[in-house]
Structure formats: C-alpha cells, structure tokens
Amino acid sequence: MKRESIVGLLHGKEGLASLGIPADQLNLYDHPKLLKLERNVKSNASDSEAHQIIVDTLKS
C-alpha cells in the first residue's frame, strides 16, 4: 500500500472521529455528503484536486 493511501486513511479516520462517528461503524448510506465525496474524489487525484472536491462537496 502506498504511503499516500495510508495517510489518507488515517486522515479519514481522524476526521470521522472529530464528527463523533467511529470508523468501524460508518455506513456511508447514513451520511449522504460522505457518500457523495466517496463517489466524487478519484483515487488518482492530486492532493490539491482532492481538497477542492471535498471543499466544494461539503459546501453544497
């Protein structure tokens, strides 16, 4: 697994924890904005592209 993937997973886990959502209990269908993010952020996006997609998705 690439370093970037591990860092991304850790950031996601920390972000969920800050929202009070345990990562092992996450159901994306209960969180439509997170599901939309999962569908919109491409695995080959650069950090800046992914960041912009996340910002734009969370604003809507």
Q: What is the pLDDT of residue 17?
A: 84
The number of angstroms, rounded, from the C-alpha of 17 to the middle of its chain's C-alpha atoms is 12
User: pTM (2 decimals)?
Assistant: 0.49
List, for residues 2-58, the tens digit of each pLDDT value: 888 888 888 888 877 877 888 888 887 887 877 777 777 777 778 788 788 878 877
DSSP per residue over 1-24, as a string?
A: --HHHHHHHHHHHHHHHHTT--GG
The whole-number pLDDT of residue 60 equals 65
Q: What integer pLDDT is reported at residue 32 of this predicted model?
A: 82
